């Protein structure tokens, strides 16, 4: 499966991004926002509870009030990066007019949200896109990213600054076009769950990457992470590989020999994230 940050028309994506960044400027400070603070200022109540694997979050409209549920079984802590993203996602359902109006009118009942680009539902993708732009405003993200190392080391530095999840930060990083790259999410049994490719002409020349766990070479950082090996002190596995290893269908010899950096880290119960980028 291939995923995009948002698979709607560009104008729609821009509209949601602009809305989210306006909210970030209105309620945040130096590019940092606190979703619960925004919720309180909008009189949106919230509660954390354990709901097994049913959902990450849910926005409910009941008796003329909005309420956010956040599932500790999946977000783990009240203040975890995934909890922050989930809360920002539910705020997306509130601030995006069409989402809020559908709830208020009863046209759409409260639905169970699975965040961080794990859903194919258009409404969910829009809320994820809102959350990404709310928590990581473009101008602040780019300004900081240019001061950090390329790849996962820089992504983790940005993740710490914005207090966001590794997955959402890596996707934001790729979307910004800082380097030709792929972000991939893996599960040991199912293999490649989704991928996102940065938007540039160079990387558009490459076909689909490996997608089966059994196809990964023995020295692959992705395989090491999937096997739950102990990572280096930096928190992720990394190696330099030829593009042909990851894109076996490539016919162009020059592209097959292109140098890539493969970096991978385990995300606990949420599988493995791979960041693959090209170097000169």
pLDDT tens for each residue of 230-262: 999 899 999 999 999 999 999 999 999 999 999
pTM to 2 decimals? 0.87
d(Cα 76, Cα 207) in Å, to the nearest integer? Answer: 37
The pLDDT > 90 percentage for the chain reads 78
User: What's the confidence (pLDDT) of residue 218?
Assistant: 92
What pLDDT is attached to residue 213? Answer: 96
Task: Give residue-wise pLDDT tens across range 147-161.
Answer: 999 999 999 999 999
How much is the average pLDDT of 24-47? 90
Residue 255's CB: how many other CB atoms inside 10 A?
Answer: 17
* Strand-pair category, 237-242 with 259-266: antiparallel
Beta bridge partners of 192: 186
Pure H helices in 149-273: 152-162, 166-175, 221-226, 243-246, 253-256
The pLDDT, as a whole number, for residue 5 is: 47
Query: pLDDT category, 129, cuts 50, 70, 90?
Result: very high
Q: According to the model, what pLDDT value does residue 142 have?
A: 93
pLDDT value at 128 more than 60: yes
């Amino acid at each position: 499966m291939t995923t995009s940050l948002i698979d709607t028309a560009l104008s729609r994506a821009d509209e949601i991004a602009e809305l989210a960044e306006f909210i970030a400027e209105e309620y945040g400070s130096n590019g940092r926002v606190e979703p619960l603070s925004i919720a309180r200022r909008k009189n949106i109540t919230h509660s954390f509870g354990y709901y097994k694997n049913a959902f990450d979050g849910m926005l409910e409209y009941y008796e003329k009030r909005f309420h956010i549920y956040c599932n500790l079984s999946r977000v783990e802590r009240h203040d975890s990066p995934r909890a922050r993203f989930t809360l920002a996602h539910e705020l997306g359902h509130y601030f995006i007019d069409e989402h809020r109006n559908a709830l208020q009118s009863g046209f759409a009942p409260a639905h169970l949200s699975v965040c961080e680009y794990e859903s194919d539902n258009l409404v969910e993708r829009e809320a994820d896109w809102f959350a990404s732009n709310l928590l990581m405003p473009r101008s602040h993200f780019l300004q900081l990213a240019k001061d950090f190392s390329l790849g996962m080391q820089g992504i983790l530095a940005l993740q710490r600054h914005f207090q966001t999840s590794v997955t959402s930060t890596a996707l934001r990083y790729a979307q910004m076009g800082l380097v030709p790259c792929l972000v991939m999410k893996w599960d040991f049994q199912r293999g490649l769950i989704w991928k996102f490719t940065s938007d540039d002409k160079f990387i558009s020349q490459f076909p689909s990457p490996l997608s089966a766990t059994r196809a990964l070479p023995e020295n692959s950082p992705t395989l090491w992470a999937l096997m739950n090996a102990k990572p280096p002190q930096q928190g992720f596995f990394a190696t330099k590989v030829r593009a042909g290893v990851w894109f076996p269908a490539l016919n162009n010899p020059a592209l097959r020999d292109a140098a890539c950096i493969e970096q991978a880290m385990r995300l606990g119960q949420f599988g493995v994230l791979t960041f693959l980028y090209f170097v000169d």
